[in-house]
């Protein structure tokens, strides 16, 4: 990380409960660290609510709105941190509705004792990722809770995005014959976080796939592709995303196991831990349902987007129903379901 | 060969052709290990085999065979102030008679999933003010690590570490299944990873006593089909031998260092199995010289009689007497979200395998 924490660390090296008290100390935290690190310009006085007219002027069509909370442990993992996630997760949720993120709120829940330097690192990631995603942070909130009542930092972000005119992306538009695409190899994020959390050493460091997805979506929209449905397979992984869409759209999906891209280190880690890569979380991948005739064009665009080299066509919508079927490498079909609950390492 | 080669579709096809060319009449084989059961269901091997070959799923899921009474003891320990209960992740969601360890954690208990018993020893070292109990479940594969944990805790002088020991051994369970008067198993695929530790010697008496072929088998589709082929060749030729089809990992003598470690810390004890009742010499218990590390003794735990299993027919599933999807509760009143028994909840369980890979309409 370039630069240094702007708050004099010798004075307050860690977050204190008093930093959340609404008094001078809190003002100092906001003015000295949070706002400048997030890139909120000096003199841009924060009101109780942000006005968005300017940001949204010229955004023809409709608005999209979403919110999500980020509670990842550890805060830092190969390929990202909670700040990267808190921006990517929300702008990606907007992108999955075809919306370009315009404005973001950031709400921080800090644990007493959190090193100020750690907070600064997280805020710096938040800002860099927001800049990369082309979204402005316009409002926020900060609370401090007692030591032991949080894992360092929890972040909630909410985002408003603009859906370009004529764009309509939702499960109801999925049709029989649609091609199912994935924008890259799956499962990196879940394994990267778990490996760091549990102190597991693999031969290759597995980096999270965490990244903003709007550039890939924009490229496909700009090319005039008719995206029927998009979904980012986060918790629950690719399997849950597909099962959810199949149910919502009332269609049967046939998934080709051999076509699903999984990086060899991720596959090896899954094997060791007893996980199915189809159930492991991604944070920078999308699943796209597009008309079969546009599948190749969409794939070409996905493959030229950052991190999209492994984009692949992984399945086809067969017809009405609501089930996802996985065709194994040996030609055997089996039904695919969401995982039952928390992913837990197996016993032997 | 790389691990991908053991999933190669062309090799799988060749083995299936060889099996089809070998089999002339119906045969029933049991795969012992839950990992094999999942591999079979996941790849659809049971549906690729000729109809004359029936695969029956054995009791080889350590989570499934752990009796409810011991799980209740673990849950009770997790609820005690000052106690940290550690176990493998799989164990945390298996229901006891009233609740499970995840619920105990949500209720305020200190329950932690670890990857190795040694992780639990490390916790005991870091947190001397807490009593750290490792809930040791598993077959011969997990026993060396449990033994190493006890030795390490002793070497470090940790007085706050103990084992709630539910370790079990595979051969006595195989003997119990074969000795049942209505046993229909004609050949066994034995669990390769158990043999990597224990070697092959324990199986020879079973082959002799019950005149049944036992083939040591691995976990990839090519391994499993190779095991099936070798078993069928013996059966068709009227033979019953012990064969190692997993020689790349399992040596005849196993891992003598691991065996020595297990033998030093543990001794054979009678143990209650879910579905198989109490079997002599089927468990590993701490030797008297390591009794200080026995959580049952340290905390004065008593085992209450197992509750009525109600509608759950896990016992029959674990003995290979009932295919999971033929249980009347399967997929309706018993699902991974609301399991009636351990085989539906464990990631190695046969009921979970059918539900996961065949859907509730299996």
Nearest to A66 by CA among A44, A34, A35, A99: A99
Q: How sure is the predictor about A209, in pLDDT bands with cuts at 50, 70 and 90?
A: very high
Listing DSSP states for B54-98 in one string gives EEEEEEE-HHHHS-HHHHHHHHHHHTSTTEEEEE-GGGGGS--SS
Nearest to B115 by CA among A341, A73, A198: A198
Cβ-based neighbour number of residue A172 at 10 Å:
11
Question: What does the pLDDT read at residue A335?
Answer: 86
Question: Per the domain annotation, does B51 fall within a domain?
Answer: no
Q: Is the pLDDT of residue B97 over 90?
A: no
Report how far residue A299's alpha carbon sits from residue B199's, in angstroms, rounded to the nearest whole number. Answer: 51
- Residue B26 DSSP SS3: coil
Q: Is the pLDDT of residue A289 over 50?
A: yes
User: Cα B125–B127–B132 angle (5° rounding)?
Assistant: 80
Asked whether the beta carbons of residue B141 and residue A348 sit closer than 8 angstroms, the reply is yes
List CB contacts (< 8 A) between A337 and chain B. 355-356, 359
Asked whether the beta carbons of residue B139 and residue A330 sit closer than 8 angstroms, the reply is no
Question: Per the domain annotation, does B122 fall within a domain?
Answer: yes
Q: Is the pLDDT of residue B28 over 90?
A: yes
Question: What does the pLDDT read at residue A44?
Answer: 57
Report how far residue B280's alpha carbon sits from residue B287's, in angstroms, rounded to the nearest whole number. Answer: 16
Q: Is the pLDDT of residue A347 over 70?
A: no
Report how far residue A31's alpha carbon sits from residue A268's, in angstroms, rounded to the nearest whole number. Answer: 47
Residue to mutate among A262, A274, A347, with most B CBs inside 10 A, is A347
Q: Is the pLDDT of residue B139 over 90?
A: yes
What is the per-residue pLDDT across B299-353, written as a single tens digit (0 to 9) for each?
999 877 767 778 889 888 988 889 999 999 999 999 888 888 889 888 788 998 8
Number of domains in chain B: 1
**Closest-CA distance of chain B to residue A3, Å:** 35
Question: What does the pLDDT read at residue A100?
Answer: 94
Q: How sure is the predictor about B72, in pLDDT bands with cuts at 50, 70 and 90?
A: very high
Cβ(A343)–Cβ(A190) below 8 Å? yes
Token look-up 């209720």 returns B107
Question: Per the domain annotation, does B124 fall within a domain?
Answer: yes
Please report, for residues B137, B220, B315, the alpha-carbon distance to residue A347 in angstroms, rounded to integers and kept in the order given. 8, 18, 20
The pTM of the full predicted model, rounded to 2 decimals, is 0.87
**Percentage of residues of chain A with pLDDT beyond 70:** 91
List the 128-187 stretch of B: residues with Cβ below 8 A of A: 137-139, 141-142
The phi-psi region of residue A283 (left if phi > 0; otherwise alpha if psi is between -120 and 50; otherwise beta) is alpha
Question: What does the pLDDT read at residue A2?
Answer: 54
Q: Is the pLDDT of residue A205 over 90?
A: no
Across the range B252-261, mean pLDDT stands at: 96
Across the range A148-167, mean pLDDT stands at: 94
Report how far residue A121's alpha carbon sits from residue A127's, in angstroms, rounded to the nearest whole number. Answer: 10
Which among B115, B336, B358 is the nearest to A345, CB-wise? Answer: B115
Tokens at A341, concatenated:
């609950």
Report how far residue A137's alpha carbon sits from residue A149's, in angstroms, rounded to the nearest whole number. Answer: 27
Tokens at B247, concatenated:
């020689």
What is the per-residue pLDDT across A124-141, written as a single tens digit (0 to 9) for each?
999 999 999 999 999 999
Across the range A241-256, mean pLDDT stands at: 97
Start-end ranges of CATH 3.30.1330.10 in chain A?
14-43+59-163
Question: Per the domain annotation, does B341 fall within a domain?
Answer: no
Whether omega before A170 lies within 30 degrees of 0, making that bond cis, reads no
Q: Calculate the CA A166 to chain-centre distance.
A: 25
Of A183-187, A344-348, B77-81, B115-119, minimum mean pLDDT range: A344-348
Q: How sure is the predictor about B362, in pLDDT bands with cuts at 50, 70 and 90?
A: very low
Compare all CA atoms of chain A with the CA of B60 and give the residue at the minimum distance: A348
Question: What does the pLDDT read at residue A200?
Answer: 79
Across the range A172-186, mean pLDDT stands at: 97
Tokens at B217, concatenated:
């088998």
Q: How sure is the predictor about A9, in pLDDT bands with cuts at 50, 70 and 90?
A: low
Regarding the domain with residue range A171-336, which homologous superfamily does it belong to in the CATH classification?
Answer: PurM-like C-terminal domain (3.90.650.10)
Question: What does the pLDDT read at residue A296?
Answer: 98
DSSP lists the bridge partners of residue A325 as: A254, A335
Question: Per the domain annotation, does B316 fall within a domain?
Answer: no
**Percentage of residues of chain A with pLDDT beyond 90:** 70
Start-end ranges of CATH 3.90.650.10 in chain A?
171-336
What is the per-residue pLDDT across B232-247, written as a single tens digit (0 to 9) for each?
999 999 999 999 999 9
**Closest-CA distance of chain A to residue B193, Å:** 9
Question: What does the pLDDT read at residue A113?
Answer: 94
In sequence order, which residues have a C-beta less than 8 Å from that of residue A39 and are 6 or more positions away?
A: A127, A130, A131, A137
List CB contacts (< 8 A) between B42 and chain A. 328, 334
Cβ(B92)–Cβ(A343) below 8 Å? no
In the sheet that B131-138 helps form, which strands lie side by side, from edge to edge? B110-113, B83-87, B131-138, B161-167
Cβ-based neighbour number of residue B113 at 10 Å:
19
What is the per-residue pLDDT across B141-182, written as a single tens digit (0 to 9) for each?
999 999 999 999 999 999 999 999 999 999 999 999 999 988
In sequence order, which residues have a C-beta less than 8 Å from that of residue A220 and are 6 or more positions away?
A: A227, A288, A290, A298, A301, A302
What letter does residue A224 receive in the DSSP assignment? T
B159/A165: higher pLDDT: B159
Cβ(A105)–Cβ(A218) below 8 Å? no
Tokens at A210, concatenated:
């965490």
Give chain A's mean pLDDT: 90
Nearest to A286 by CA among A225, A219, A234: A234
Cβ(A180)–Cβ(A257) below 8 Å? no
Cβ(B136)–Cβ(B167) below 8 Å? yes
CATH code linked to domain A14-43+59-163: 3.30.1330.10
Question: What does the pLDDT read at residue A42?
Answer: 47
List CB contacts (< 8 A) between B134 and chain A. none
Cβ(A19)–Cβ(A30) below 8 Å? no
Across the range B44-69, mean pLDDT stands at: 92
Q: Does B89 touch chain A (CB under 8 A)?
A: yes
Tokens at A236, concatenated:
């629950």
Q: Is the pLDDT of residue B203 over 70?
A: yes
Of A183-192, B59-68, B114-123, minimum mean pLDDT range: B59-68
List CB contacts (< 8 A) between A330 and chain B. 9, 12-13, 43-45, 48, 221
Q: Does B357 touch chain A (CB under 8 A)?
A: yes
Compare all CA atoms of chain A with the CA of B47 and give the residue at the minimum distance: A332
Q: Does B12 touch chain A (CB under 8 A)?
A: yes
Residue to mutate among B8, B14, B44, B110, with most A CBs inside 10 A, is B44
Token look-up 């330097």 returns A117
Q: How sure is the predictor about B270, in pLDDT bands with cuts at 50, 70 and 90?
A: very high
Asked whether the beta carbons of residue A334 and residue B336 sit closer than 8 angstroms, the reply is no
In the sheet that A287-290 helps form, which strands lie side by side, from edge to edge? A229-231, A287-290, A179-182, A312-320, A251-256, A324-327, A333-336
Q: Return the CATH number at B266.
A: 3.40.50.11740
Give chain B's mean pLDDT: 92
For residue B82, what are the domain limits? Answer: 63-167+254-299
Length of chain A counted residue by residue: 348
Nearest to A223 by CA among A162, A305, A161, A133: A305
Report how far residue B160's alpha carbon sits from residue B83's, in angstroms, rounded to the nearest whole number. Answer: 9
Tokens at B23, concatenated:
């089999």
What is the per-residue pLDDT across A76-114, written as a single tens digit (0 to 9) for each?
999 999 999 999 999 999 999 999 999 999 999 999 999
Longest dimension (CA), chain B: 65
What is the per-residue pLDDT across A11-52, written as a single tens digit (0 to 9) for each?
678 998 888 888 888 888 888 899 989 987 545 556 678 888
């Amino acid at each position: 990380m370039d630069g240094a924490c702007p708050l004099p660390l010798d004075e307050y090296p860690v977050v204190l409960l008093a930093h959340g008290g609404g008094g001078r100390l809190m003002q100092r935290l906001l003015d000295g660290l949070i706002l400048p690190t997030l890139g909120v310009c000096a003199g841009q006085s924060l009101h109780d609510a942000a006005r968005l007219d300017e940001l949204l002027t010229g955004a023809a069509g409709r608005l999209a709105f979403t919110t999500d909370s980020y509670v990842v442990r550890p805060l830092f993992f190969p390929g990202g941190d909670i700040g990267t996630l808190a921006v990517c997760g929300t702008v990606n949720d907007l992108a999955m509705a075809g919306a370009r993120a315009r404005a973001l709120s950031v709400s921080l829940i800090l644990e007493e004792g959190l090193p100020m330097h750690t907070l600064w690192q997280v805020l710096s990631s938040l800002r860099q990722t927001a800049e990369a995603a082309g979204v402005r942070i316009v409002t926020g909130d900060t609370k401090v809770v007692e030591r032991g009542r949080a894992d360092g930092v929890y972040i909630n972000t909410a985002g408003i995005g603009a859906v370009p005119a004529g764009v309509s992306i939702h499960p109801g538009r999925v049709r029989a014959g649609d091609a199912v695409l994935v924008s890259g190899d799956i499962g990196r994020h879940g394994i990267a976080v778990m490996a760091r959390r549990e102190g597991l050493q693999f031969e290759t460091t597995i980096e999270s796939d965490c990244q903003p997805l709007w550039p890939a979506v924009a490229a496909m929209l700009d090319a005039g592709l008719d995206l029927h449905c998009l979904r980012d397979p986060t918790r629950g992984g690719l399997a849950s995303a597909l099962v959810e869409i199949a149910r919502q759209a009332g269609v049967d999906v046939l998934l080709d196991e051999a076509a699903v891209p999984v990086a060899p280190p991720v596959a090896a880690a899954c094997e060791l831990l007893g996980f199915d890569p189809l159930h492991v979380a991604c944070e920078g991948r999308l699943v796209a349902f597009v008309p079969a005739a546009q599948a190749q064009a969409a794939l070409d665009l996905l493959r030229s987007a950052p991190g999209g080299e492994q984009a692949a066509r992984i399945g086809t919508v067969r017809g009405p129903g609501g089930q996802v079927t996985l065709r194994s490498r040996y030609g055997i079909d089996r039904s695919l379901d969401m995982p039952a609950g928390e992913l837990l390492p197996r016993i032997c | 060969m790389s691990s991908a080669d053991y999933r190669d579709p062309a090799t799988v096809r060749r083995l299936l052709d060889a099996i089809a060319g070998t089999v002339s009449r119906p045969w029933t084989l049991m795969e012992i290990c839950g990992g094999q059961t999942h591999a079979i269901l996941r790849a659809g091997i049971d549906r690729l085999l000729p109809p004359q070959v029936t695969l029956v799923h054995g009791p080889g899921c350590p989570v499934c065979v752990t009796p409810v009474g011991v799980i209740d003891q673990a849950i009770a320990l997790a609820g005690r102030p000052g106690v940290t209960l550690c176990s493998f992740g799989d164990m945390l969601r298996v229901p006891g008679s009233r609740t499970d360890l995840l619920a105990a954690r949500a209720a305020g208990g200190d329950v932690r999933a670890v990857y190795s018993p040694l992780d639990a020893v490390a916790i005991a070292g870091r947190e001397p003010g807490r009593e750290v109990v490792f809930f040791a479940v598993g077959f011969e594969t997990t026993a060396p690590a449990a033994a190493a944990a006890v030795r390490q805790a002793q070497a470090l002088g940790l007085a706050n570490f103990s084992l709630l020991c539910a370790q079990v051994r595979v051969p006595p369970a195989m003997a119990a299944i074969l000795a049942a008067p209505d046993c229909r198993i004609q050949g066994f695929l034995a669990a390769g990873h158990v043999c990597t530790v224990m070697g092959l010697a324990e199986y020879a008496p079973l082959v002799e006593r019950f005149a049944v072929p036992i083939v040591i088998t691995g976990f990839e589709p090519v391994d499993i089909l190779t095991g099936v082929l070798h078993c069928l060749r013996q059966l068709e030729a009227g033979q019953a031998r012990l064969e190692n089809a997993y020689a790349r990992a399992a040596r005849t003598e196993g891992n003598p260092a691991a065996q020595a470690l297990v033998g030093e810390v543990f001794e054979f004890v009678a143990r209650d199995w879910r579905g198989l009742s109490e079997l002599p010499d089927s468990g590993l218990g701490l030797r008297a010289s390591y009794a200080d590390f026995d959580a049952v003794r340290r905390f004065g735990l008593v085992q209450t009689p197992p509750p009525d299993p109600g509608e759950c027919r896990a016992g029959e599933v674990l003995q290979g007497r009932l295919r999971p999807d033929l249980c009347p509760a399967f997929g309706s009143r018993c699902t991974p979200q609301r399991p009636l028994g351990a085989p539906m909840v464990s990631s190695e369980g046969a009921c979970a395998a059918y539900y996961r890979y065949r859907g509730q309409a299996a």
